[in-house]
Amino acid sequence: MIGKIIKIDQRKQSFTSQVAYIRVHLMVGEVSSKERTWAKTDLVSSFRNYKKWKDLLEINNILGGLKLKDKETVDSDSPVYLIQKEPKEPEEAEEVIEQFKLF
């Protein structure tokens, strides 16, 4: 399953334990389908699986290897990997437009 990171919440304190977590919101779906649904995963920086995720946590990154625990929850132990790093802002496009204005 693949997914695109659409939002990363600020670190929150868990109500049930003494750990803080980061909630990551994704649009997920099967590679062979264009249908996407919302899902989330919660990551704790002191947990072992966080190492797989930490360098991938940017909005608009497209990830592969995702597995669902239930209808709306990505298993944070999924063998996640980066498929595509999306540009943060269209700054490069603006530079090109500015260069064309010079002519």
83: domain CATH number?
A: 2.40.50
Which residues constitute the domain of residue 51? 2-101
Total tally of structural domains belonging to the chain: 1
Number of Cβ within a 10 Å radius of residue 25: 17
Radius of gyration of the chain (CA): 17
> pTM for the full model?
0.79
CA gap 45, 14 in Å, rounded: 13
- Per-residue pLDDT tens digits for 26-75: 999 988 888 899 999 999 999 999 999 999 999 999 999 999 999 999 99
The two counts, helices (H) then strands (E), for the chain are 2, 8
CA gap 6, 59 in Å, rounded: 5
